[in-house]
Amino acid sequence: MAPEANLDEERARHATFLLHMRIRVVHESILNLVAVYGVSAPLRIAPKQKINADVHYSVKSLCEDTQHEYSIVMEDLDTVTRDKDRPKGKMEDYDTSAFAIGSLLESLKFSDCGTM
């Protein structure tokens, strides 16, 4: 049987996705729908850290490439951008890491509908 670390690494390789749909809407405008599903415990092991970084750069690139179009990014990453959104009132390390998608979207001027 493979060591537990190898099983975690194997699971990590299949634990995320990014789906992008470009939809032409009224008056030839474009609406980008982006769905992002992240990896659990993204800082725990090296393969998950790489996946987390890859997702970050992919979302960043996509959002920058479509910045003059309408975009909605839906994400399920189990990250927050405010302390008060955590039960203990303090963000986790992965919430504030360099590759946290919530922080990335804030820096790109996206609004978090859950905080409005």
Q: Where are the domains positioned within the chain? A: 4-110
Average pLDDT, the chain: 84
Q: List all residues 6 or more positions away from 20 whose beta carbon is below 8 Å from its beta carbon.
A: 32, 33, 34, 62
Token pair of 35, please? 């769905």
Mean pLDDT for 2-9 is 49
Q: Which residues of 66-104 are buried (b: 16+ CB within 10 A; e: fewer)?
A: beeeebebebebebbbeeeeeeeeebbebbebebbbbbb
At 46-101, the pLDDT tens digits run 888 888 899 999 999 999 999 999 999 998 877 888 999 899 999 999 899 999 98
The partner residues of 33 in beta bridges, in order of sequence, read 21, 72
Residue 37, strand partner residues? 17, 76
